[in-house]
Structure 1
Amino acid sequence: SEGTVVFANEPLLTVEGTLAEAQFVETALLNIINFQTLVATKASRINHAAAGGAVIEFGLRRAQGPDGGLSVARAASVGGVRSTSNVLAGKTFGIPVRGTHAHSWVMAFPDELSSFRAYAQTFPDACILLVDTYDTLKSGIPNALTVARELREKGHELAGVRIDSGDLAYLSRESRRQFDDAGFPNVKIVASNELDEYIIDSMKSEGGRVDVYGAGTRLATCAGEGGGALGGVYKLVRIADRPKLKVTSDIAKATLPDRKRFLRAVAPDGTFIQDLITLADEAVHPGDTVFDPSNPMQHRALASGIRLEDVRSVVMEGGQRISPSLMLDEMADRCADQLRRLPPGCLRFINPHRYKVSISRDLKVLRDRLMEEVMDGL
């Protein structure tokens, strides 16, 4: 199901059919799964860095086309970024829509204060002012405070301010101080401008006082370390009754042959211990020897006191869907729950714990035999 946490070299999806039918859906499946898995992962990392702060998806203007923008909003929601500035995505998928005005709104008025007053008059109960058009601390925040006082006199409260440039950690601290000193501790500080998990983590380490993060370019394009593209592949593993193998000089990139099960070892407290890939009809038990797929010399015993859960389930059979479609909120809840069940070190941005993904003995033996047969035939 969508929202499931997965790791490299695991079989996310199996398609069975005639060769022509299976080939027909390859491009569509890879396009959808690769991009949206990448975005959901990036969103999850950004959400983790925010550590309790809200995150809004701001990426439409930098996404790869209008359809790409919709995919970004949907996948980001699965990954934990549960609101978007993309109005069409809100209508299409039911994602809460959030946002502020643009710099052009401020520049269209004779002065900044006039623009703030006009916006506050239009949205008195949802007023977030963009304060960095001219000078955040000398102009934007003082004018926002003026409007905050005027709103309070009319029975409303300023919702927040957004900072979109400059030293966001410093500016957020100073903005927070000025609003607190003036008696407006509930005004939210929103930050945007090329944010990703590393920048957010750095801002927090520097004492930034940001309540809401707007993640745009680096979320929508998955730019930065480890981003850009996800190299998921779609390979033939069995034809009729014959297992098949794509051979490469790098054993880590060799496909795993035949029909397979994808299992997750779960501790009694619900923590995920490791993942295991086996042949479809193979029985495995705690204590069995399992192998690192990229380094056959590394092997370990499957832990005792665990239960093995099938990660995948049948979605379509005979060309008909047989499992219900999940709502986006259900997918996001599933993702959040599974992330909590990972060993804590897996979520570190620097030198993360390496989650174990193993293959069974029978699958290893089959892979090794097929590789030998192919190489002997060259």
Structure 2
Amino acid sequence: MVDKRVVREEIMDIKPYIPGKPIDEVKRELGLKEVIKLASNENPLGPSPMAIDKMKEAVAKVNIYPDGNVHNLRQKLSKSLGIEANQLIFGNGSDELLVLLAQSFIKVDDEVVIADITFSEYEFATKIMGGKVVEVPLKDNTHDLEAMLAAITAKTKMVFICNPNNPTGTIVERREVEEFLAKVPEDVIVVFDEAYYEYVDNSDYPQTINYLNEYDNVIILRTFSKIYALGGLRLGYGISNSELIGYIDRVRQPFNINSIAQVAAEASLDDQDHVLKSLEYNRQGKQYLYQEFERLGLDYIPTETNFILIDLGRSNQEVFQQMLKKGIIIRSLASYGYETEARVTIGLPEENKKMIKALEEVLS
């Protein structure tokens, strides 16, 4: 037995993240030849063909360390966003950036305000540094910014706003965000996690980059994992003023972005036709699934993302297991504290139809 005195107390109540079940694992366990994964909010079209070509070229050069400054991608992305190159930091997925934020700013007993329920990695990043999480219940399935503002104390170091929120798919609109920012103390860092930014259709969604000139305590996180379909390469990025970015960069590991990810992201930015195609498939799939959920009598939350939260009306774990047997992986939200809800990624038309057929059989 390991003497627990050698372990940091801060990590003892951290629960390991439970990812969506991998396709190959389900095939092995259940002896299935075909499995459809609609659990992890991946783009079903896959990466841009232009990105794939660039990745193939880059494979032959993996004996060389990557550009630690991510120069080419930094220049291309900064021009695309209309910001300075030194306002960007890149991470091995947004998950690494969350840890870098915690390492940069959170001390033991600092408080971090998050929504309940939201992306679980905010809690993880806070606790590994000995910080304390203050959870504020959702209101109408989205962030209650007024209540989150009221939860800020002298000990508060950071506030996370997942917008759109995972797993509900909802957003807080521009007016709410602007009223919130105007009242937040300037020594409290506000982090907007916008992993699903590109999927949002609502015209009242805040363009948070516009706030960087007015507020020095704003950090924005985005990713190449979702709309750009590079989840397997792990590449996220943060946007803020150059001073905050400089502090975060002090704790970043060198060469944290591999060379294949860098060229794939550059090519993905050049292929906006692929982005538009992905969005159109998502919009069509969303409307189809709405209609089918209504036909099946299932409640759902209208989404601004590429996933939908549905209420199955029975044990989500039970339905999850039955769907697995039919070769369909959805996300049971039991780990989020839900008992009957599940999250379903919007797939290709044929995947959505097979999922609905399987779900109807399971529920009947």
TM over 0.5: no
User: Quick check: which has more Rg, 1 or 2?
Assistant: 1
TM-score between both structures, scaled by the size of structure 2: 0.28
TM-score between both structures, scaled by the size of structure 1: 0.27
Q: Comparing both chains, which one has the higher relative contact order based on Cα–Cα distances under 8 Å and sequence gaps of 6 or more?
A: 2
